[in-house]
Amino acid sequence: MEDATRALGKGTLPPGPVPEGLIRVYSMRFCPYAHRTRLVLRAKGIRHEVININLRNKPEWYYTKHPFGQIPVLENSKCQLIYESVIACEYLDDAYPGRKLYPYDPYERARQKMLLELFYKILGYQNTIFFGGDCISMIDYLFWPWFERLDVYGIADCLNHTPALRLWTAAMKQDPTVCALLIDKNIFLGFLNLYFQNNPDAFDYGLTC
């Protein structure tokens, strides 16, 4: 895992220039926004190095990479800096050859961007602990199954971003109904494994009877 390195904090030395043929991403192992960029780097097979930043104790030099010290930031060997996760992802798709992640068709590209706006609107709708107010209600139950499945993979909390969603996930897991129906991680992964092999026994995975 390229990103399995300790986060750099205050008092650390700034890293040197990025060698040619490589691109650098300033990241944090649990940040979902940086995760986007790392996904695109991996999906396109782009040679890269990862420098993790301690977001609670940022190195002074990091503000020369991003005015507010946010991640992710891309830095290439020409010292060009690109930030905002969506902009970074699009830059990588444009700048590097191989598999294109955005479609070629302008309308299909626009559709993807509209979907992303929808996603932000969902996150933006939340100004109370639960999506419907201070108590759990229908909309929370309607959203939960997808988030529970993502949670099984361990999606990351990020110290700076979407704290509301992190709080919501934690609050949901305290709800007796959600608790009672919580899927066991190993059983779910076992199911998925068989399911993707088109194994008809997938559906009964984990049953002891």
Query: Residues interacting with other proteins, by CB under 8 A?
Result: 78, 80, 82-84, 87-88, 90-91, 94-95, 106-107, 109-111, 113-114, 117, 121
Spatial CB neighbours of 9, under 8 Å, sequence gap ≥ 6: 54, 57, 58, 59
Cβ–Cβ contacts within 10 Å for residue 165, how many? 17
Compute the least distance from the CB of residue 17 to other proteins, in Å.
Answer: 16
132 half-sphere exposure, CB direction, 13 A CA radius: 11
Nearer to other proteins, 107 or 196 (CB): 107
Active site residue 31: yes
Kindly give the pairing relationship between strand 73-75 and strand 48-52. unpaired
Compute the least distance from the CB of residue 81 to other proteins, in Å.
Answer: 9
Nearer to other proteins, 21 or 106 (CB): 106
Alpha-helical runs (H) found in 54-184: 85-95, 106-124, 138-152, 163-172, 176-180
Nearer to other proteins, 39 or 86 (CB): 86
Compute the least distance from the CB of residue 83 to other proteins, in Å.
Answer: 7
Element (H, E) at 83: strand 81-83
Catalytic residues: 31
